[in-house]
Structure 1
Amino acid sequence: MTQIVILAAGMGSRLGRSLPKPLTELADGRTIMQQQFDNIRFAFGSNAQVTIVVGYKLEHIIEAFPEASFVYNEQYDQTNTSKSLMRALQASAPGGVLWMNGDVVFDPMALERAAALVAREQSFVSVNTAKVSDEEVKYTTTAEGYIKELSKAVVGGHGEAVGINYVSRDDKATLLRQLKRVGDQDYFERGIELAIEEDGLRFEPVDISDLYAVEIDFAEDLERANLFV
């Protein structure tokens, strides 16, 4: 059974909607999160156990996806994705965990590509090498091709992280320890970066540049995502 986590606790204030951002409707009538659920079923079938980390206006998400499990980040308005992922990993069953940000609209094939690494228990970060924006999480790699740096502050990045990641069963406890250490306002990428730097964990970059993956922060992002769905 594949364990999948969707991080959806944040307020998503930049998009300026009253509902949680993952419940934003796309041009095809589905919400962002429904598109994610459909993609999960496409790649992993009904064998996926989905847990949603909720916070802001959580009752709307719980009502929309009653088949999921839920983890509550009661400090959703004071913490970032590092602490939401920390709570999800603490609540997870033994085994690896695939997780995604709840505001990413992406090609179903992205998870099919990821499934091959999940099957061989290889921790990974999905990346797009086609563009490197200042405000996005960027990465560099080691000589062996594994992730080296992973943050918005990276200079000379090889590409951007798209918000779909996996931690293997053997790496999970180490990542969890680092997520507990990082600051409340840190993104989960800081935990990955420290686990690589201090514990020697190996996260492979999975290139999905040929597929679409749009993180919805602003109205123009939503417009771009709607061109794909």
Structure 2
Amino acid sequence: MTTQVVILAAGMGSRLGRSLPKPLTELGDGRTIMQQQFDNIHHTFGRNAKVTIVVGYKLEHIIEAFPDASFVYNEQYDQTNTSKSLLRALQASPAGGVLWMNGDVVFDPTVLDRAAVMIARDQSFVTVNTAKVSDEEVKYTTSAEGYIKELSKTVTGGLGEAVGINYISAADKARLIRHLTKVGDQDYFERGLELAIERDGILIEPVDISDLYAVEIDFAEDLERANLFV
């Protein structure tokens, strides 16, 4: 079955201070952040993976760079956060589960190999790094059964950080869509997941990738760190 992948790339990425959309930032090996993501997707899922990019800020540059992808437009990219970009992508997606990632994550190709095992089971998951717990990052806790319980930047006693690569199963997708419609424009998509867990009891597993690299690029120092790996 064809794997559905969504890349969230509508934001302005102003903290990095570049003129182009952040996913088009060049890495030390000459690839852009997004090209690295495409390479990783093809490594695990092959060329038949269906990739949809949510675009907004300076969208023409991303469309020109990746003409073979499908595109969903978040026309309110300057007024909304990732919850509304993901909502648009899931609403436009065909039946089946969806793997999605933030468009600014540089990560080890093996991350998706690990994710593929869960996708084959159609099990919703969030990839996590238990090696560090920073105040400014999305953190998580788990239930007694080991499933995600809390997932936000305000979590206290977090067990680790969410990496920004996640999967919603075919069975859970409609419920996540419903909650994403209700969250605030400035909420991250994690708020929709939290509500789906809290109110609908969906089961989301944490997938630990602490032994692999995954760097979210917000600032110049993040880019420097990512370039140590690629």
Q: Same fold (TM over 0.5)?
A: yes
Provide the C-alpha distance between the structure 1 equivalents of 2:177 and 2:214, rounded to a whole number of angstroms: 26
* TM superposition shift of 1:46: 1.4
Partner of 2:112: 111
By how many angstroms is 1:47 displaced?
2.3
Aligned to 1:8: 9
Residues 79-135 of structure 1, C-alpha deviation per residue, up to 9 Å, x if partnerless? 000000000000000000000000000000000000000000000000000000000
Q: Which residue of 2 aligns with 1:53?
A: 54
Separation (CA, whole Å) in 1 of partners of 2:12 and 2:203: 32
Q: How many pairs does the alignment contain?
A: 229
2:206 maps to amino acid:
P
Using the alignment, how far apart are the partners of 2:101 and 2:47 within structure 1? Answer: 18
Consecutive unaligned residues of structure 2, counting only runs of 5 or more, are none
The amino acid that maps onto 1:159 is G
Match of 1:180 in 2: 181
For the residue of structure 2 that corresponds to 1:113, the secondary structure is helix
| 1:1-29 deviations in Å (ceiling 9; x for gaps) | 00000000000000000000000000000
Q: Which residue of 2 aligns with 1:126?
A: 127
- What is the DSSP-based 3-state SS (H/G/I as helix, E as strand, rest coil) of the residue aligned with 1:5? strand
- The normalised TM-score by structure 2 is 0.99
Distance in 2 separating the partners of 1:67 and 1:32? 17
Q: Quick one: distance in 1 between partners of 2:28 and 2:141?
A: 35
Q: Unmatched 5+ residue regions in structure 1?
A: none
- 2-structure distance, mates of 1:170, 1:198: 15
**Identity value in percent:** 84
Partner residue, 1:139: 140
Which SS does the other structure have where 2:37 is aligned? helix
- The residue type paired with residue 153 of structure 1 is T
In 2: Cα distance, 1:49 partner to 1:4 partner? 6
Which amino acid counterpart does residue 181 of structure 1 have in structure 2? K
CA distance in 1, matches of 2:22, 2:48: 26
Give the secondary-structure state (helix, strand or coil) at the position aligned to 1:163. Answer: strand
Aligned to 1:165: 166
What is the distance in 1 between the residues matched to 2:48 and 2:202? 27
Alpha-carbon separation, structure 1, partners of 2:186 and 2:128: 23
Aligned pairs for 1:1-229 within 5 A = 1-229=2-230
Deviation readout 1:119-166 (Å, 9 max, x if unpaired) = 000000000000000000000000000000000000000000000000
Distance across 1 between alignment mates of 2:214 and 2:175: 28
1:30-49 Cα deviation digits (max 9, x unpaired): 00000000000001011210
TM-score (structure 1 length as normaliser): 1.00
Give 4+ residue runs of structure 1 displaced > 4 Å after superposition: none
Kindly state the Cα deviation for residue 217 of structure 1 after the two structures are TM-superposed. Answer: 0.1
CA distance, structure 2, for counterparts of residue 63 and residue 203 of structure 1:
35
Aligned partner of residue 195 in structure 2, secondary structure: helix
Within 2, Cα distance between the matches of 1:134 and 1:228?
24
Question: Match of 1:166, SS?
Answer: strand
| Separation in structure 1 between the aligned mates of residue 9 and residue 161 of structure 2, nearest angstrom | 21
Q: Distance in 2 between matches of 1:71 and 1:28?
A: 29
